[in-house]
Chains A and B, each alone.
Chain A
């Protein structure tokens, strides 16, 4: 069974400062990891994913994430936060279901990012 943890309910950062949104995972096989963003009253939008290869993954809107196998983490980062980055961020992991019959993506509980002007 897979799990994904987002330890912070909310992250506050000043505009222009670097931001980090944390995610750790636990899977039985090779991890496929994703980050999504949800703006108020909208569906989720894909930001980036790690499947294999380079540990530093670059995505949309200047976001990047670093895959760290030893720490089982996949933290989302951005060098300079914008007020418009304020949203709900979801980390997700793909793994096999408990029955082993199919693969599915499990989402974390979400982290609210508040960028303060």
Chain B
């Protein structure tokens, strides 16, 4: 009965590879997010989707492409992985009203990506 789940938990890969991270929430929320947390624990929003529509795209390189097949799922595909992509990626969800963002977010356990 996990609220926000992510797979895989750990991902170790070589530079130049393409990888995907999956996220699912069973809270019935309308909005989902991807965050990147670097080695200094700084948390930065990457993308946000509301009802499968892209709301936020925070100047993330084109190599990162989110996909939301339905409002319970938000996947992140990364092409041509670089060393600087190594980080922990968190998925989150909230019950927000499209452009409004006043409800708390529920975070997944994170995916630790290591690019060698």
Which chain A positions have C-beta within 8 A of B100? 103
**B34 at interface (Cβ–Cβ under 8 A)?**
no
State the majority secondary structure of interface residues on A: strand
Task: Report the contact-size class of chain A (Cβ under 8 Å from the partner).
Answer: 20 to 34
Interface size of B as a range: 20 to 34
CA distance A97 to B40 in the complex (A): 24
Among B55, B102, B110, max chain A CB count under 10 A is at B102
Q: Are B104 and A34 in contact, with the CB atoms below 8 A?
A: yes
Chain A residues with Cβ below 8 Å from B66 are none
B interface, over-half SS: loop
Residues of A within 8 A of B (CB): 32, 34, 36, 38, 41-46, 49, 51, 88, 90, 94, 97, 102-107, 109-110
Q: List 27 A-B contacts (CB under 8 A).
A: A32-B102, A34-B104, A36-B107, A38-B41, A43-B4, A43-B92, A43-B108, A43-B109, A44-B90, A44-B107, A46-B104, A46-B105, A49-B104, A94-B101, A102-B55, A102-B101, A103-B100, A104-B45, A104-B48, A104-B58, A104-B101, A105-B45, A107-B44, A109-B42, A110-B41, A110-B42, A110-B43
Given contacts A43-B107, A44-B107, 4 further A-B contacts (CB under 8 A): A46-B106, A90-B43, A104-B56, A104-B101
